[in-house]
Amino acid sequence: MESPLPLHVCHVNNLSVILNKLHAFLHCIAIALLIYYRASYLLQETRAISIIPWLLVFASELLLSFIWLLGRAYLWRPVSRTVFPERLPEDDKLPAIDVFICTADPEKEPTIGVMNTVLSAMALDYPVDKLHVYLSDDGGSPITLRGMREAFRFAKWWIPFCRRYRIKTICPQAYFSEAESDENFGDSEFVTEKRKIKEKYEMFEEHVMKAVEDGEYGNSRNHSTIIEIIQDTSGENETIRQADLVEMPLLVYVSREKSPEHLHHFKGGALNVLLRVSGVISNSPYILGLDCDMYCNDPTSARQAMCFHLDPKTSSSLAFVQFPQKFHNFNEHDIYDGSLRSGYRLQWPGMDGLKGPFLTGTGHYIKRESLYGNFKNKGIDLAELKDTFGESNLFIKSLHQSYEHKNVNGENLSNVLQQETEVLASCSYEHQTKWGEEVGFSYQSVSEDFFTGFILHCKGWTSTYFDPSRPQFLGTSTTNLNDVLIQGIRWASGLIDVSISRFCPLLYGPSRMSLLLSMCYGEMSLFPLLYCLPLWCLVTLPQLCLLNGIPLYPEVSSPFFMVFSFIFLSAICKHLQEVISTGGSVYTWRNEQRIWMIKSVTSHFYGSMDAIMKLLGLRKASFLPTNKVLDNEQVKRYEMGQFDFQTSSVFLVPMVSLMILNVAALVCGVIRMIAVGNWDKLFAQVLLSLYILIINFAIVEGMIVRKDKGRISPSAILLSSVFFVTFLFFGSIILI
Ligand X SMILES: O=c1ccn([C@@H]2O[C@H](COP(=O)(O)OP(=O)(O)O[C@H]3O[C@H](CO)[C@@H](O)[C@H](O)[C@H]3O)[C@@H](O)[C@H]2O)c(=O)[nH]1
Q: For residue 369, which of 399, 402, 389 has the smallest C-alpha distance? A: 399
Site for ligand X in 580-599 (CB under 6 A): none
Q: How far is the CB of 435 from Mn ion (least distance, A)?
A: 24
Write each residue from 526 to 565 as x if it is in contact with ligand X (CB under 6 A), else as -, in one continuous string: ----------------------------------------
Q: How far is the CB of 289 from ligand X (least distance, A)?
A: 7
Write each residue from 585 to 624 as x if it is in contact with Mn ion (CB under 5 A), else as -, in one continuous string: ----------------------------------------
- The letter for the amino acid at 282 is S
Residue 8, interface with ligand X (CB under 6 A)? no
Residue 37, interface with ligand X (CB under 6 A)? no
Alpha helices in 550-630 (DSSP H): 559-581, 586-601, 603-615
Residues in binding contact with ligand X, number by CB under 6 A: 25
Of 169, 297, 362, 600, the residue at the interface with ligand X (CB under 6 A) is 362
Q: Give the Cα separation of 419 and 405 in Å (integer).
A: 15
Closest residue to bound ligand X by CB:
361
Q: How far is the CB of 729 from ligand X (least distance, A)?
A: 39
- Residue closer to ligand X (CB basis): 58 or 134: 134
| Annotated catalytic residue 610 | no
Residue 138, interface with ligand X (CB under 6 A)? yes
Q: Is 109 annotated as a binding residue?
A: yes
Residue 449 touches which of Mn ion, ligand X, none (Cβ within 5-8 Å per kind): ligand X
631: Cβ contacts below 8 Å, ≥ 6 apart = 480
Q: Give the Cα separation of 552 and 523 in Å (integer).
A: 28
Q: Give the Cα separation of 460 and 450 in Å (integer).
A: 16
Q: Please tell me which residue in 105, 352, 449, 497 is annotated as part of the active site.
A: 449
Q: Mind spelling out the 3-state secondary structure of 382-437?
A: HHHHHHHHCCCHHHHHHCCCCCCCCCEECCEECHHHHHHHHHHCCCCCCCCCCECC
Residue 711, interface with ligand X (CB under 6 A)? no
Site for ligand X in 630-659 (CB under 6 A): none
| Annotated catalytic residue 449 | yes
Contact present, 197 and 236 (Cβ < 8 Å) = no
Residue 523 touches which of Mn ion, ligand X, none (Cβ within 5-8 Å per kind): none
10 has which bridge partners? 81
Question: CA-CA distances (angstroms) from residue 263 to 385, 407, 421, 443, 445?
Answer: 23, 31, 19, 10, 14
Residue 120, interface with ligand X (CB under 6 A)? no
Residue 494 touches which of Mn ion, ligand X, none (Cβ within 5-8 Å per kind): ligand X
DSSP one-letter code for 476: P
Distance of CA 439 to the CA centre of its chain: 22
Q: For residue 701, which of 648, 632, 624, 641 has the smallest C-alpha distance? A: 641
Of 215, 218, 494, 551, the residue at the interface with ligand X (CB under 6 A) is 494
- Residue closer to Mn ion (CB basis): 109 or 422: 109
Q: Give the Cα separation of 287 and 363 in Å (integer).
A: 10
Distance of CA 430 to the CA centre of its chain: 27
Ramachandran sector of residue 404 (left: φ over 0; alpha: ψ -120 to 50; beta: rest): beta
Q: How far is the CB of 474 from Mn ion (least distance, A)?
A: 12
Q: 134-154: buried (b, 16+ CB within 10 Å) or exposed (e) per residue? A: bbbbbbbbbbbbbbbbbbbbb
Q: How far is the CB of 270 from Mn ion (least distance, A)?
A: 14
Of 194, 490, 672, 681, the residue at the interface with ligand X (CB under 6 A) is 490
Binding span for ligand X by CB under 6 A among 98-106, 191-199, 223-231, 380-388: 98-106
- Residue closer to ligand X (CB basis): 451 or 553: 451
Of 140, 249, 625, 654, the residue at the interface with ligand X (CB under 6 A) is 625
Q: Please tell me which residue in 98, 105, 138, 337 is annotated as part of the active site.
A: 138
Q: Is 636 annotated as a binding residue?
A: no
Longest dimension (CA), the chain: 94
Contact present, 287 and 366 (Cβ < 8 Å) = yes
Q: Give the Cα separation of 77 and 466 in Å (integer).
A: 15
- Residue closer to ligand X (CB basis): 57 or 496: 496
**Kind plus residue range of the DSSP H or E element containing 97:** strand 97-103
Angle at 306 between CA 305 and CA 307, to 5 degrees: 90
Residue 608, interface with ligand X (CB under 6 A)? no
- Residue closer to ligand X (CB basis): 282 or 362: 362
308: Cβ contacts below 8 Å, ≥ 6 apart = 7, 8, 83, 314, 315, 318, 321, 464, 466
Residue 266, interface with ligand X (CB under 6 A)? yes
Residues in binding contact with Mn ion, number by CB under 5 A: 2
- Residue closer to Mn ion (CB basis): 269 or 625: 625
Q: Give the Cα separation of 692 and 547 in Å (integer).
A: 16
Q: Give the Cα separation of 511 and 667 in Å (integer).
A: 52
Q: Give the Cα separation of 626 and 628 in Å (integer).
A: 6
Site for Mn ion in 272-301 (CB under 5 A): 291
Contact present, 469 and 608 (Cβ < 8 Å) = no
Q: Is 291 annotated as a binding residue?
A: yes
Of 61, 98, 109, 337, the residue at the interface with ligand X (CB under 6 A) is 109
Residue 361, interface with ligand X (CB under 6 A)? yes
Q: How far is the CB of 69 from Mn ion (least distance, A)?
A: 31
Write each residue from 425 to 454 as x if it is in contact with ligand X (CB under 6 A), else as -, in one continuous string: ---------------------xxxx-----
- Residue closer to Mn ion (CB basis): 114 or 162: 114
Q: Give the Cα separation of 253 and 144 in Å (integer).
A: 9
Residue 424, interface with ligand X (CB under 6 A)? no
Contact present, 472 and 327 (Cβ < 8 Å) = no
Site for Mn ion in 626-665 (CB under 5 A): 626
Binding span for Mn ion by CB under 5 A among 215-223, 533-541, 625-633, 696-704: 625-633
- The letter for the amino acid at 44 is Q
Q: Is 138 annotated as a binding residue?
A: yes
Binding residues for UDP-alpha-D-glucose: 108-109, 138
Binding residues: 108-109, 138, 267, 291
Active site residues: 138, 449
Binding residues for Mn(2+): 267, 291
Report the interface residues with ligand X, using CB under 6 A.
102-104, 109, 136, 138, 266-267, 270, 291-292, 325, 361-362, 446-449, 487, 490-491, 494, 623, 625-626
Report the interface residues with Mn ion, using CB under 5 A.
291, 626
